[in-house]
Amino acid sequence: MVTIKDVAVRAGVSVTTVSRVMNNRGPLSENTKTAVKRAMEELGYMPNDVARALGKNSLNIIGLVVPSIQHPFFAELVHAFEYDSYTRGYKLMVSASDYDYKKEKHSVGLLRRTMVDGIIYASHSMGSDFLEDMKVPAVTLENVFAGLPAILSDNAQGGFLAARHLLARGCRNLVTISGQRNLHLSADERTLSFIRECERQGASCKVYSADEEMLKTMEYSRIVSQVFNENPNMDGIFASSDIIGAQCIQMAFSLGYKIPDEIKIVGYDDVILSRLVYPPLTSIRQNIPDLVKATMDTLVALIAGEKVPETQTIPVTFIERRTT
């Protein structure tokens, strides 16, 4: 890294003189100015944000904590956050918990010590105590911790829309495969509201829950096999992610089911995957652009010291494709 000192040496002047040229301050000969500017150019010197940040206490960095970057939903989410940060003049520091509490805690500590302007917490390994303690503007996504503003996706609506559609298509023996449920995530609402609507319409609904290992490896074949083995008469599946939905399609095909005639499948998230499987997967779209915009608006308002809503819920959209 080229420093102001390197520029001074190259230009044959003092550091103070270089600083005066940069700030256009004090009496300076044209020769000196030219020499310093040439030295800066030759060395590729660029005044850095760090020194400036000490003054205003900001590096214009947003820290983002997600459980995973490679999981398709979070990949699309991180992508959207990077773009939004860019348009607002922020840089994005990304940290993945890898579903590991220790890594997450360490990463959040690092983010804080780097003097990020704010933190977006879209993971779920840590307790609320740690986040509330941070004294850095922070917004949570898909998590509710007392004291921190939360942006939520309308999971209850998602579960309801999936149920209503499958029931309207004539399904009466339903199964739902949910994510890991003991996390008390906002995502649990998908399952609860799906069950409620099935019950309300008098249809049978069985619930299966994945475990953390499946979430981590994105490998759900064990639970998907179990679902197909134990429910030979099921006619509809609501999978709480497109990844699970894709694996239901694979299993249905390999057992000789016709999709959607004999079994109907609805996924969740509407990630790119849902368009790449065959048949393309009906899904519930989490509106990533709106989730990201609401989160960033809230974080930027918090950084500016403004009051922000405690929770904001972003609607989901039902996307019909060819598995239903």
Q: Which residues bind a second copy (CB under 8 A)?
A: 1-3, 43-51, 53-54, 57-59, 61, 68-70, 72, 75-76, 78-80, 82-83, 86, 91-96, 98, 103, 106-107, 109-115, 117, 133-136, 218-219, 243, 246-247, 249-250, 253-254, 272-273, 275-278, 280
CB of 92 to a second copy, least distance (A): 6
Say what angle helices 188-200 and 155-168 make with each other, to 10 degrees. Answer: 40
Q: How far is the CB of 39 from a second copy (least distance, A)?
A: 13
**Residue 298 C-beta: closest distance to a second copy, Å:** 18
Nearer to a second copy, 15 or 51 (CB): 51
Number of Cβ within 10 Å of residue 307's Cβ equals 7
Read off the tokens for 165.
Answer: 């559609």
**Closest to a second copy by CB, 6 or 206:** 6
Least distance between a second copy and beta carbon 129 (Å): 12
Q: Of 321, 275, 284, nearest to 154 (Cα)?
A: 284
Nearer to a second copy (CB atom), residue 203 or residue 288: 288
Residue 11 Cβ, how far from a second copy at the closest point, in Å? Answer: 16
Closer CB to a second copy, 28 or 303, in the complex: 303
**Dihedral, CA of residue 182, residue 287, residue 75 and residue 130, to nearest 10:** -50
In the chain, which ranges are E strands?
61-66, 91-96, 118-121, 138-141, 150-153, 173-178, 204-209, 236-239, 264-266, 283-286, 311-314, 316-319
Main-chain phi, psi angles of 90, to 5 degrees: -100, 155
Query: Coil, strand, or helix at residue 79?
Result: helix
Closest to a second copy by CB, 35 or 78: 78
Shortest Å distance, C-beta 93 to a second copy: 5
User: Between 117 and 197, whose beta carbon lies closer to a second copy?
Assistant: 117
Give phi and psi for 172, each to the nearest 5: -130, -20
